Amino acid sequence: MTTYLKNIWEASATVFEGMAITFSYLLQRPITVQYPDRLKEPVPKTLPKNYRGRLMVDTELCTACALCQKACPIDVIEMKGARTERKKGLTLIYFNIYHGKCMYCNLCVEACPAEEGDEEAHHTAIYFKKDFEGSGYELKDLVEQFIPREEAIQRLKEAEETAAKRAAKAAAESAPAEPKKEGNA
């Protein structure tokens, strides 16, 4: 009989207690961040400094060394660098990132040697932007071409020209020495 009454009492007391807690939440403000429109400040601004959002490339800064491409375990980065007459080192021909496949592991960023900025605005050539919006209706929308297609074709042509020029130059330079080489061989 005591257990019987105790059971009833326990059940009602604990239910009472739980209901008091849930009721107290009715009197508190929800913590919801009303993305996308009803926001005090945009969500990316609330993210920490090193947040890994979308993978981006600073095409100006990039030296086209392809270290990131090698550092990526899953071939997300598709890039090519070649010599043109635009700048001294390698020029980017094209740089595509497949966001739909990226796993945001930070390995490419760690591999990148090109850095810029002070402590505050520090970023490497390939870096994570504090932005996460990138849905698309088709899979190809998720491939971002940092050098637009026309530009890339243009650059490729330039690179081919430069390569041809260099080849011609090299041929011209090495032409006299050619017989010598053959002789050596």
Partner 1 sequence: MTSATREKELKPRVEITQISGTEIEVNMGPHHPSTHGVIRFILFIDGEIVVRAVPDVGYLHRSIEKIAESMPYSFFMPYTDRVDYVAAINCNLGYALAIEAMGGLEVPERATWLRMIGVELNRIMSHLVGVGALPLDLGAFTPFVHALREREHMMDLLEILTGTRMNNNYIRFGGVCQDVDDEFLKKLEKYLDHFVLFLEEYDRLIGTNKIFIERLKNVGIVSGEKALSYSFSGPNLRASGIGLDLRKVDPYCFYNDMKFDVPVGKGIKGTVGDSFDRYIVRIEEMAECEKILRQILSKIKEGPIQSKVPKKLVLPAGEAYHHTESARGELGYHIISDGKSASPYRIKIRTGSFASMTSLAEIFKGMMVADVIAYFASLDIVAPEVDR
Partner 2 sequence: MTQFIYMFIFAVIYLLSIAVAAGFLTVVERRIAGRMQSRIGPNRVGPQGIVQWIADAVKALQKEDIIPTDAHSFLFKIAPYLVFMGVFLTLVPIPFGAYTLMENLDTGIFYVLAMASFVVIGVMMGGWASNNKWSLLGGMRSAAQMISYEVPAALAVFVVVVMAGTLNFQKIVFSQGASPVDWYVFRNPFAFIAFNIFFIAALAEGNRVPFDIPEAESELVSGYNTEYSGMRFLFFFLAEWGNLVVIGALVSTLFFGGWNFWFEYTLEFSVPGRYPIRFEVLGFLWFLFKVSIFVFIIIWIRWTLPRLRIDQLMDICWKYMVPIGLFASIGILLWMYFVPEKSLADTIMRYSMTSFGGLTILYFFYRVFQNLRVTKAKIYANPFV
Partner 3 sequence: MSLYHEMPENIFVTSVDQLLGWSRKHSLWWLLFGLACCSIELMHTGGPRADIERFGSAPRGTPRQADLIIIAGTLTYKMASRLKLLYEQMAEPKYVISMGSCSNCGGLFDKAYSVVKGVDQIMPVDVYLPGCPPRPEALLEALVILQKKIQKEKYLRK
Question: What are the residues binding partner 1 (CB under 8 A)?
Answer: 3, 7, 10-11, 14-15, 17-18, 21-22, 31, 47-48, 50-52, 73, 103-107, 110, 128
Question: Phi/psi class of residue 66: alpha, beta or left (left: φ > 0; alpha: ψ in -120 to 50)?
Answer: left
Binding to partner 3 by residue 183, rule CB under 8 A? no
Q: In angstroms, what is the minimal distance from the CB of 128 to partner 3?
A: 12
Binding to partner 3 by residue 16, rule CB under 8 A? no
Q: Which stretch binds partner 3 (CB under 8 A): 60-68, 77-85, 100-108, 150-158?
A: 100-108
| Whole-number Å distance between alpha carbons of 155 and 84 | 8
- Amino acid letter, residue 111: A
Q: What is the DSSP letter of 35?
A: T
Contact 125, 58 (CB under 8 A): yes
- Amino acid letter, residue 30: P
Binding to partner 3 by residue 90, rule CB under 8 A? no
| Whole-number Å distance between alpha carbons of 145 and 56 | 10
Binding residues (CB under 8 A) for partner 3: these are 30-36, 43, 54, 73-74, 98-104, 132-139, 141-142
Binding residues (CB under 8 A) for partner 2: these are 4, 7-8, 15-32, 34
